[in-house]
Structure 1
């Protein structure tokens, strides 16, 4: 089974919840483990929240969700803006730990893979993969 959906949501906080609900609904079509469902809920929440917070003011939050062979979920979250400094993801929390700065470390720690994908200079695209079942 292959399922795919593309969303273009407004740059507003409620879009984070909408994206999470759509992903949760799509996952009901799979045999995803509870761990995978929980990780994916955090992954899409953090990726979308970052897009809403850091995107250019008139940018939409573009989301693609692809479920491949009932085994892997690919999430892509994009917007107009600039890639964070260093354009790399790492699981180290920022020091000092402040209110912000936890999203990318959470994504790096929970995802099977997560990377910023090269694109036009004014576009940010974060690609995340997560296995849905035990390996």
Structure 2
């Protein structure tokens, strides 16, 4: 099964919840196991939260979700720039009660995660996650 959707949401905290609900709805169409669904909920929450917090003020949060058999691809983009020193190999901050957990959590839960090229003024985070429990389509 292949399911694709694209969202362009306003840069506000409620958009994080909306994106998570759309992803959960799409995942409900699959046989994905609860652990995969939970990991993806954290992944989209952290990616969208970062976009809301760090995007240019008049930017939208642009999200693409693709579920293709047993793989889920998430792309979260916004207008802005990657903060200096931010990377997907960052360690968790100490103490854990402050910000800065998003990218390390994304790295820990995703199968792949990378900032990829997009339009010159765009930040685009691409995340993939293999879904456990999903039966892949038989080859005809």
TM-score, normalised relative to structure 1: 0.92
Structure 1 residue 65: Cα displacement: 0.2
Aligned to 2:53: 53
Whether the aligned pair in 2 keeps the contact of 1:91 and 1:106 (CA below 8 Å) is no
Unaligned runs of 5+ in 2: 135-140
Aligned to 1:74: 73
Q: CA RMSD in A?
A: 1.7
Q: C-alpha distance in 1, partners of 2:68/2:25? A: 16
Whether the aligned pair in 1 keeps the contact of 2:60 and 2:78 (CA below 8 Å) is yes
Unaligned runs of 5+ in 1: none
* Alignment: residue pair count: 134
Structure 1 residue 134: Cα displacement: 5.7
Question: Is residue 40 from structure 1 mapped to residue 45 from structure 2 by the alignment?
Answer: no
1:96-132 alpha-carbon deviations (Å, 9 max, x no partner): 5551111001001111110000223311000000011
SS of residue paired to 1:92: coil
SS of residue paired to 2:25: helix
Taking the TM superposition and a 5 Å limit, the aligned residue runs for 1:1-135 are 1-69=1-69, 71-86=70-85, 88-90=87-89, 92-95=91-94, 97=96, 99-133=98-132
Structure 1 residue 88: Cα displacement: 3.1
1:68-121 alpha-carbon deviations (Å, 9 max, x no partner): 12x000000000000132563025213455511110010011111100002233
Whether the aligned pair in 1 keeps the contact of 2:11 and 2:52 (CA below 8 Å) is yes
Whether the aligned pair in 1 keeps the contact of 2:115 and 2:125 (CA below 8 Å) is yes
SS of residue paired to 1:89: coil
